[in-house]
Amino acid sequence: MLISEIFKKKKCVYSFEIFPPKATFPIETIYDTLEALSGLKPDYISITYGAGGTKSDNRTIELANLVKNKYNTPSLAHLTAIHSDKEGVTAFLKEMQANSLRNILALRGDKVEGMPLSKDFRYASDLAKFISQYRDFHISGACYPEGHYESPDLETDIENLKIKIDNGVCHLNTQLFFDNKDFYKFIELARKKGIGVPVQAGVMPILNKRQIERIVSLSGVKIPAKFSRLIALYGDSDEDMKKAGTDYAINQIVDLIQNGADGIHLYIMNNAALARAVTSAVSPYIERINAK
Ligand code: FAD
């Protein structure tokens, strides 16, 4: 099912993001996770694309195909363009078509040291424009409630985001964030700038202190004072931090649902037990909104 069709049916769309196992692991190592995640009945599961973009590292289509055709859950395949070209993207799209996959998340990606930059695609909007020639794809895109780390300010980032929408992106997933106020401000600004597509809020339950340090260094997301207090209180025990981080994510999601977010995209890091804990807590709220 096209993701745009899901948004026509639901006020609040709920999805998971997973990453493929490394090429050195048999694909079967992820079967149990997929079985458990699909059993939680998300509206779709998205599958990341390795940053370098080499064929041997990328099992995105293989996973998207499994999710859709073995586990009967709509899938969204990510694709980055920064180190690719029109021929590489065309081959990816044709492989998607051959597997009856139609949902694609068009990304620029981040530069990998030592790899040549694309001669064809500078921004995600260039990739979206190229894919939109195919007509039969639903194109999603990424967005950043606190602004993308290379952007001088949020306004400029949202102006650039509008180009992505004008080039065919019809749904957005946000980068994870910890302060819902940033999401609400972003939505207000985006709507003012004429971005009307559904925006799903990206939420990641934090399991330990090392994870939060890695996320902050990679993405530059802000840690609000109330979350810093949790880290100070529970960060020295993985067990306590996992409980506090999961509760924090659940509270964040309930607040987002009650304030009319178009959807929740859960960064679940292939952790089915965590997905189950969050889903059982938030699904009554999602069901109630969708029944209205
Ligand atoms: P863009 O939309 O191209 O934006 C990048 C920067 O360029 C921004 O600062 C923007 O303001 C600026 N810009 C855009 N258009 C213009 C323009 N026309 N003129 C001037 N400036 C412009 N990475 C992976 O490697 N694999 C994944 O699977 C993956 N999945 C992701 C999923 C989500 C939901 C998110 C939020 C991110 C994901 N990423 C992934 C990370 C992403 O690749 C990086 O955040 C990357 O730095 C930006 O990608 P983008 O598609 O948002 O880029």
Does residue 52 have a pLDDT over 80?
A: no
pLDDT of residue 54: 60
Question: Which of 187, 177, 169, 174 minimizes the C-alpha distance to 127?
Answer: 169
Probe ligand 1: pick from 148, 183, 200, max atoms within 8 Å of CB?
148
Does residue 249 have a pLDDT over 60?
A: yes
Q: Tell me the mean pLDDT in the region 97-104.
A: 97
pLDDT band of residue 14 (cuts 50, 70, 90) is: very high
Instruction: Indicate whether residue 124 lines ligand 1 (CB < 6 A).
Output: yes
- Decide if 181 contacts 163 (C-beta within 8 A): no
Q: Collapsing DSSP states into helix, strand and coil, what is residue 64? A: helix
62 counts as catalytic? no
- CATH architecture of the domain covering 3-291: Alpha-Beta Barrel (3.20)
DSSP state of 96: H
Per-residue burial over 139-171, b = 16 or more CB atoms within 10 Å of its CB, e = otherwise: bbbbbbbbbbeebeebeebbebbeebbebbbbb
Nearest-CA residue for ligand 1 atom 41 is: 109
Catalytic residue, chosen from 5, 17, 150, 155, is 17
What is the tens place of the pLDDT at every residue in 113-151? 999 999 999 999 999 999 999 989 999 999 999 999 999
pLDDT of residue 252: 98
Query: In sequence order, what are the residues at sequence separation of 6 or more whose Cβ sits closer than 8 angstroms to the Cβ of residue 247?
Result: none
pLDDT of residue 24: 86
pLDDT of residue 51: 67
Share of the chain above pLDDT 90, in %: 93
Q: So where are the chain's domains?
A: 3-291
Does residue 56 have a pLDDT over 60?
A: no
pLDDT of residue 76: 98
Instruction: Indicate whether residue 123 lines ligand 1 (CB < 6 A).
Output: yes
> By mean pLDDT, which of 125-129, 152-156, 208-212 is the weakest?
208-212
Q: Tell me the mean pLDDT in the region 93-122.
A: 96
Q: Collapsing DSSP states into helix, strand and coil, what is residue 247? A: helix
